[in-house]
Each structure stands twice: as C-alpha cells, then as structure tokens.
A and B are shown apart, each in its own frame.
Chain A
Amino acid sequence: MSAVETLLLVSAILGLLTGLSVVVLSLTWLERKFLGRIQMRIGPMRVGPFGLLQPVADAVKLMAKEDLLSSWVDRVVYWVAPLVVFVPTFMIWVTIPITRDLVIRNLDMGLFYIIALSVLSIVGLVTAGWASSNKYAVLGGFRAAAQLISYEIPLILAVLGVAMLAQSLNLENVVNSQGAFSYALIQPLGLVIFFVAGLAELGRTPFDIHPAESEVVGGPFVEYSGAHWAVFFLAEYINTFAIAALTVLLFFGGWLFPGLPGDVSGLGVLVFLIKTYLVILVIFWVRGTYPRLRIDQLMSLGWKVLVPLAFVNVVITSVYLFYGWPAWSLSLMSLAILGTAVWEISRRMRTAPTPEYTVRLYVPSSEASSAG
C-alpha cells in the first residue's frame, strides 16, 4: 500500500469517526425530543435553540466527570471492556455503504463480516459485567450474553434470506438488486424478523433486559462513569444507527428510490439518511410505547417464535428460488406466514389460562415443629 493510499484510508476512517459522533449527538437529541412529544412534553429546550446544543453539553459533562473506580474491580479488564464493545461496532461501519461510492472498503463478504463483528461486542458486555465486581453488573452481563446469543440466530437467518435473494453478500450488490422492488415488499416476514431481532441485539426498549434500570440498575454499566461510560453510550447509539442502516440497505433499497437516479452521490446520501432516520424514529416510537419484556418472555419470543419463523423464511425463499416463481408469490407466502403467526400468537394469548399462584410461607423448621 502506497503512502497516499494509507493517508486516504486514515483520513476516511477519521472522517467516519467524526461523522458517526455527529450522528450519535443528533440521535440523543432526536430521541429525547421524540420521547418528549410522545409523553406530551417538549424535551430539552434550554441549551441552544430548541435544545440543539444539549448533546454537546452532555458530552462535555461526561468528559469532565470524575472517572470513579471501585476498589475491587479487575482493572485491566475493566478499562479494556468499553473498547471491546466500541471497536467492533465501529468496525462494522467500514463496509456499510452510505451510497454507491461512499464506503471505506466494499467487501464481497460484507454481510458475513458485519455479522461476525457484531457478535464480538457481547464479549465486552460480559467482561464489563464481570470486571465490575458488582452483582448487578455480573447479572446484567450474563443477561446480555443470553439475550444477544439467542437473538443472533434469527438475525443471521433473516440476513441469509436477503443474501439468497440478492445472490451476494456484498452490500452494494444487495442494494442494486433492489432496483425494481425493495425486499421489504418481497420478504415482509424477513423484515419483521430482522427488525425485532435487531432491536433485541441493540438491547433497546422492549428488549433492554441487560441494562434494565429497575432490575439490575444499568447492568454491565453500573460501575462505569465519565468518559468510559460515554464510550458504551457511543457504542450503543452507533449500533442503533447501524441496525437502522442495515434495515434500510437490506430491505428498503438503501440509496435507491423509485423515480430518482441511483448514481448521483449527493442525492443517494440524502435518500439513505432520510430512510435511516425514519427507521430510527420507528425504533424510538417502539421505545416510547412498549414496556420491558420479562426475561422468560424474551427467551420464548426468541426461541419459540423468531427462530422457527426465520427458518420458515429461509425455506420459502429457497423454494421460490429453486422453482423460479415470480416475485409476488414469495411476498404472498411471506405475508401469509406472517399473518398466520400473528393470528396464532394472539389466539394463544387470548385463550392462555391465567396461571394459578400458590403462596407458600417460609416457616423455619424449629417453629413449625413447635406449632405442631
């Protein structure tokens, strides 16, 4: 690699880091405003016009905050854990194309690379929990491992469905093959699976079991403060943006829009960003609507609903590809299975017997014997 190429690569990566930081700032502002409006509040208003500078103020506050260290932590692991979470989430972006030309490395195994790296951040969460020497943190770390590993399977299978349709793992080819119809139309089942599993991968609100404030007071992040906590925070929001971007790239045609030329870079970026932010608004909307799932509900949703549905999705896609049927047949099959699943789940939820609870009082054996 020549010096010029190296310089270009370094500047591209620095640009990506800056861009992502700006995106994270905008996301925190947007989330607070959006949640505020859902709760009939107006969100931050004091710092800057419409509170636009609030995220900057938050960032300054986090950087200036004392980084506390409890005396029993395993220091090396404790300080490395935020990086183990952050680095893979950042590295994913190396191959996510904003538009046709705006990508650092367009990998032919792009989807495989993204999936392989996104699993890595679990290690960071578990080690963060373990190194904190705090029972809430350990519990949160283990919850993260259990949750993220279970939801990785439907996520990968949903991505597999798209890769089968596009006959490629290269994200640019995936987008270009959606020129006529986006895969959201051809494979609505895959979209639902990908979105739900993606939310669970992010640990965002209906699935925020591992940082659950009311149960494990912030999970793996309990002991972190100041800049190290900010790194986790940054990773979480970059991940949110990545899942939204992947949803757009895999299912909503990325930078393509019917009627617009796909090869104009600036227009492509605009289309991509608008689509991504719309998906993010849906994520915030879901956050503002649903309460947190219980851990058993989370596990049964993952293993009993999403994993079978994801396999069915792969099977119908392969049948469709094998016989070379027209595209509408796959959308019909996909919709029918989605409808059946929704119908069956709501039927079971309606008719499920209310569990009977028996209350057993704990009576120490000595008292029990004396009471007769």
Chain B
Amino acid sequence: MLGNLKGLMVTLSTFFRKPVTYQYPKEHKPIEDRYMGFPVLMWDANVGEPYCTGCMVCVRYCPTSCISAVMKDNPLHADGQSTRRKIVDNFEINLGRCILCGICVDVCNFDAIEMSHEHELSKYARNGNRTDLSKLLEMGKAYQEETGWRPEKETKKEEAVEAEN
C-alpha cells in the first residue's frame, strides 16, 4: 500500500523532469562523430575535382550492387593541373538499397568514398533515393565541412613523420 504512494511520487518526479522529445523534422538529434551514414564522394578542393577516378572497385565489391560508375579521361590532367589521368564521369548510388556495410570505403584506393552522416531516406519519388554524382559530391562537401575530413593517405604520412621525430 505504501508502495503505491511511492509509485505516485515516481511519476510526479518524472512529470517535473525535462522532456526528452526532439521535434524531429524541425529539430534533429545531434549525430555522433563516428556515425556511419550513407556513402558519399569526397571533393579534392586543392585541385577542384572529385577524388574518385571511376575505377569501379567499389562497384565490384558492393554486396547489394547499388553502385554504378563510369570513367573518363581527365581534362584537367591534359592541362597539367591534376595528377589524375582518369576521373569519374558518372556515378550513382541507390541509397534505398545500400546496407551501410562500408565495404566500398574499405576497398577504395583513392580515399574517394566515405561513410557520411546522411541518414534520411524519405523522398517524394519512388526512385528518389537514386543519388547521382553531383548530389553525392554535394553531400560529401557538407560532410567534409562538418567533420574537417582529410584523406587517409595524408593523415598516415603525417603520423609517420611524427613517429620518426
């Protein structure tokens, strides 16, 4: 019987606690730094082109075959501005089919694809989650800006230098 009163006190104390609700579309819950969202393409701001060369290794390793890529000769390489001979011409990920396994990121030789913080799948069109190159790069730039991402090759080099010193 006294336990009943204790129960009433418990609900009374929760009544005065701050609600934990996020008003979702208006208000987003902060995402953790290591959150693994959809894979997106990274942008090499030094040259002004994507890191991706369209080598298709992610396409071959993707377990759900949701990636497709087309390669082309890099016009910037002909001008001598870029060291990349080939560059991605067309790239598409069907995010509705992606299972967020991260294999594309592991197999990429150019640090060109990363698991971003993007996670929202609701679209107005049935194929609205088929995301093309420009959209993927846009998402990638947002991710780079948000996290200060740098390619693994650079960070590894710096680490090696630091270890020598």
A residues adjacent to B (C-beta < 8 A)? 34, 36-42, 45, 285-286, 288-290, 342-343, 345-346, 349
Contacts and interface: CB of A to CB of B under 8 A. Distances in A.
A289 B11 contact: yes
A41 B2 contact: no
Given A285-B8, A288-B11, A289-B11, A40 B1 contact: no
Interface stretch (B13-21, B93-101, B109-117): B13-21
A286 to B, nearest CB: 8
Contact of B19 (A41, A289, A346): A41
A41 B21 contact: yes
A286 B11 CA distance: 9
B75 interface: no
B122 interface: no
A36 B7 CA distance: 17
A347 to B, nearest CB: 9
Contact of A285 (B4, B12, B18): B12
Given A38-B15, A40-B14, A346-B1, A289 B20 contact: no
A348 to B, nearest CB: 10
A41 B20 contact: yes
Contacts of A34: 15
Contact of B23 (A38, A45, A345, A349): A45
Contacts of B11: 38, 285, 288-289
Contact of A36 (B10, B12, B19): B19
A79 B73 CA distance: 76
A345 B7 contact: no
9 contacts: A37-B15, A39-B14, A40-B17, A41-B19, A42-B19, A288-B11, A289-B10, A290-B7, A346-B2
Contact of B8 (A36, A37, A289, A346): A289
Given A285-B12, A346-B2, A349-B1, A40 B20 contact: yes
A251 B32 CA distance: 55
Contacts of A342: 1-2
A285 B11 CA distance: 8
A36 B20 CA distance: 11
Contacts, number: 40
A34 to B, nearest CB: 8
Contacts of A40: 14, 17-21
Interface in B1-54: 1-4, 7-8, 10-12, 14-15, 17-21, 23
B85 to A, nearest CB: 55
Most chain B CB within 10 A, of A38, A42, A346, is at A38
B4 A290 contact: yes
Contacts of A286: 8
Contacts of A343: 1
B102 to A, nearest CB: 34
A74 B8 CA distance: 43
A39 B23 CA distance: 16
A210 B18 CA distance: 34
B47 to A, nearest CB: 47
A238 B9 CA distance: 28
B7 A289 contact: yes
B8 A345 contact: no
A342 B3 CA distance: 11
A182 to B, nearest CB: 22
A223 B2 CA distance: 40
A34 B12 CA distance: 10
Most buried by A among B1, B7, B18, B21: B1
A335 to B, nearest CB: 15
A42 B26 CA distance: 15
A37 B4 CA distance: 20
Contacts of A36: 19
Contacts of A345: 1
Across chains A and B, which 9 residue pairs bring their CB atoms closest together, nearest first? A346-B1, A289-B11, A42-B19, A342-B1, A42-B21, A38-B11, A37-B15, A289-B7, A38-B15
A41 B10 CA distance: 15
Contacts of B7: 289-290
B12 to A, nearest CB: 7
A346 B3 CA distance: 9
A39 B1 CA distance: 23
Contacts of B8: 285-286, 289
Nearest to A287: B11
A11 B36 CA distance: 65
A41 B22 CA distance: 9
B38 to A, nearest CB: 28
Contacts of A285: 8, 11-12
A197 to B, nearest CB: 16
A343 B2 CA distance: 9
A42 B17 CA distance: 11
A345 B2 CA distance: 10
